[in-house]
Amino acid sequence: MDQDIGGAIVALKKHGLDSLPPLGIVLGSGLGSFADEAAEAIAVGYAELPGFPVPSVEGHAGRLVVGAIEGRRVALFQGRGHYYERGDASAMRVAIDAFKNLGGATLLLTNAAGGLRSEWKPPALVAVTDHINFSGTNPLIGHAGGDRFVPLTRAYDPELIRTLRRAAGEADVALHEGVYMWFSGPSFETPAEIRAAQILGADLVGMSTVPEVILARRAGLRVGAVSVVTNYAAGLSGGDPSHDETQEYARLAADQFKRLLRAFVRQAA
Ligand code: HPA
């Protein structure tokens, strides 16, 4: 499964991206508009970057935008590939490895998620402190290198979590902390699965991020993650979760989310 990053690197260089900044941010469902705020930006569609995932999901533009936020050059991945789109858990592998290869050091992953805590009224922001892989798969299955045995003990970098806390204080936004459980999707969970997730120690459920954390840790990147709780998870509110609701509440969170990210960019070393 070793996908070659050479083609992506050649294409990035062709677009003037000979190097990438040390900080990258993956913008999840309904959160991509942050990339529109980048100054002096170079934007390249994933379709032009061999091995990058061309998203099939509404709310995911599928562009890499490199530009300045708060005067600092940042690589903004506007949209991601999900396992459920093509059955490929390593959909983001070339994007992540190319980022690392061209200078990336820190990757902040963002996503929309279902909340398991009644006190987290959507849209709420949560720094992910750990995860539970409930998908039954792993993006490194089939990867032959010795580096496949990636330790995930401190996968969510404690220093980045502290930086997120400081950024939240500076931006005056409430930032909770919790454990994210990865379900494959694309169907939403059943109420019984959500009760199981609660018993197992999850605070959030979602269909992304975990494979990227694993790939990014394998690549040696520092990783952080922020979820926007767009709904109470299945069975907790009476209503049905939906992709439309996810996008609507992600947009409602946009102002707080962008303030948090701007403060994070200012603070991240
Ligand atoms: N479950 C899984 N993924 C999600 C949810 C959810 O309730 N909300 C947003 N993404």
Closest by alpha carbon to 60, among 9, 17, 26, 90?
Answer: 26
CB 32 within 8 A of CB 55: no
Alpha-carbon distance 105 to 25, whole Å?
11
pTM tops 0.95: yes
pLDDT in tens, 160-170: 999 999 999 99
| For residue 3, pLDDT beyond 60 | no
- Ligand 1 centroid–CA 189 distance in Å is 8
pLDDT score recorded for residue 57: 74
Q: Is the CB of 207 under 6 A from ligand 1?
A: yes
131 is in an annotated binding site: no
Nearest Cα residue to 78 out of 47, 105, 103 = 47
Could you tell me which of 201, 195, 159 has the C-alpha nearest to residue 179? 201
Q: Are 68 and 39 in contact (CB under 8 A)?
A: yes
pLDDT at 1: 34
Q: Is CATH 3.40.50.1580 correct for 3-267? A: yes
Which of 255, 264, 174, 259 minimizes the C-alpha distance to 225? 264
**Which band of pLDDT confidence, cut at 50, 70 and 90, is reported for residue 22?**
very high
Helix intervals (H) in 143-209: 158-171, 191-200
| CB of 206 shorter than 6 A to ligand 1 | yes
Arithmetic mean of pLDDT, 242-264:
93
* Ligand 1 site, residue 51, Cβ cutoff 6 A: no
- Give the distance, in angstroms, between the CA of residue 33 and the centroid of all CA atoms in the same chain: 14
For the stretch 96-154, pLDDT in tens is 999 999 999 999 999 999 999 999 999 999 999 999 999 999 999 999 888 999 999 99
Establish whether residue 113 lines the binding site of ligand 1, counting it when its CB lies within 6 angstroms of any ligand atom: yes
